[in-house]
C-alpha cells in the first residue's frame, strides 16, 4: 500500500519525507490556497521534496479548459498527476488527458457508479472521499470496499486512492479493503506511530539499562 500526504505545506512534507515511508502527495485547491503561492510554483516546490506522484487539481469547469490546464500542470514535472473532478466535463477531460499519456486522479468520488465512469475514462487514480461520506451519515469505507471489488471484477487498471481519511482506523480499514493508496493529513500519519505500550516499554528498557550501566551517583 502506498502512503500519500494530503497537504501542500512544505514543512509537513519535509517531516513526512524524512521517515522514508512517503510515496506521494495529494493537493486540492483548498490546500494550495492555504499556502498562498500560485499552484505551479507550489507544486514545483513539492516535487523538490517528495519523489513520488504529486496530484495537482485543475480549476476549470469545462472539459476543454480542464484539458488545457491539465497539460500545463503535467508539464511542471514528470511526477505530476492531474486531478479532475467527477463531473461530466471532468470525465471527458480525463479521457482526453489519459489518451495523451497524462495520468489523472479523478477526485470527489462519492459513489461506485462514479468510480466506474472514472475507470472507463482511463483514470490512473480514483479518489473516494471516506471522511466526507461519514460526515453525512454514510459508510465511507463501504465505498472503498465496493470500488475495489468492482475494479477487480473487470481488471481495471485504475488505482483506488482512499482519500479524506481522518484517523489511523481509516488507514487500516483502507488497507484491509485493498485500497492501493491511503492519503492522509500529517496529523493522521503521526498517529500511526503511537501506542502507549511502545512508550511504556521503551521507558522501562531505559530505566533497567541505567540501573546497571549508568547508576545515579550515590549521595554522601
* Residues ≥6 apart with Cβ < 8 Å to 65: 58
Question: Other C-beta atoms within 10 Å of 14: how many?
Answer: 11
DSSP 66: H
Q: Which of residues 145-164 bind ligand E4P (CB under 6 A)?
A: 163-164
Alpha-carbon separation of residue 212 from 182, 201, 215 (angstroms): 44, 17, 6
Going by C-alpha positions, the residue among 18, 29, 21, 58 that lies closest to residue 184 is 21
**Helix H or strand E encompassing 108:** strand 104-109
User: Near ligand E4P by CB under 6 A, which window of 33-41, 126-134, 194-202, 209-217?
Assistant: 126-134
Our finding on whether 131 is near ligand E4P (CB under 6 A) is yes
Number of residues that bind ligand E4P (CB under 6 A): 11
Of the pair 95, 183, the CB lying nearest ligand E4P is at 183
Q: Which of residues 28-57 bind ligand E4P (CB under 6 A)?
A: 28
Selected from 124, 126, 183, 189, the binder of ligand E4P by CB under 6 A is: 183
Catalytic residues: 83
**Binding stretches for ligand E4P (CB under 6 A):** 6, 26, 28, 107, 127, 129, 131-132, 163-164, 183
Amino acid at each position: 500500500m502506498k502512503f500519500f500526504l494530503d497537504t501542500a505545506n512544505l514543512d509537513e512534507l519535509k517531516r513526512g519525507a524524512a521517515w522514508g515511508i512517503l510515496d506521494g502527495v495529494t493537493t486540492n485547491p483548498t490546500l494550495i490556497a492555504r499556502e498562498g503561492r500560485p499552484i505551479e510554483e507550489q507544486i514545483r516546490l513539492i516535487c523538490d521534496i517528495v519523489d513520488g506522484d504529486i496530484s495537482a487539481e485543475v480549476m476549470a469547469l469545462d472539459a476543454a479548459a480542464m484539458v488545457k490546464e491539465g497539460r500545463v500542470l503535467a508539464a511542471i514535472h514528470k511526477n505530476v498527476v492531474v486531478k479532475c473532478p467527477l463531473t461530466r466535463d471532468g470525465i471527458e477531460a480525463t479521457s482526453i488527458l489519459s489518451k495523451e499519456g497524462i495520468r489523472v486522479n479523478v477526485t470527489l468520488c462519492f459513489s461506485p457508479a462514479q468510480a466506474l465512469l472514472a475507470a472507463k475514462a482511463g483514470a490512473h487514480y480514483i479518489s473516494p472521499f471516506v471522511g466526507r461520506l461519514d460526515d453525512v451519515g454514510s459508510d465511507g469505507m463501504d465505498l472503498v470496499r465496493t470500488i475495489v471489488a468492482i475494479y477487480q471484477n473487470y481488471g481495471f487498471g485504475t488505482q483506488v486512492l482512499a482519500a479524506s481519511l481522518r484517523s489511523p482506523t481509516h488507514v487500516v480499514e483502507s488497507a484491509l479493503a485493498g485500497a492501493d493508496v491511503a492519503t492522509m493529513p500529517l496529523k493522521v500519519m503521526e498517529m500511526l506511530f503511537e501506542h502507549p505500550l511502545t512508550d511504556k516499554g521503551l521507558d522501562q528498557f531505559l530505566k533497567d539499562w541505567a540501573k546497571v550501566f549508568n547508576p545515579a551517583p550515590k549521595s554522601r
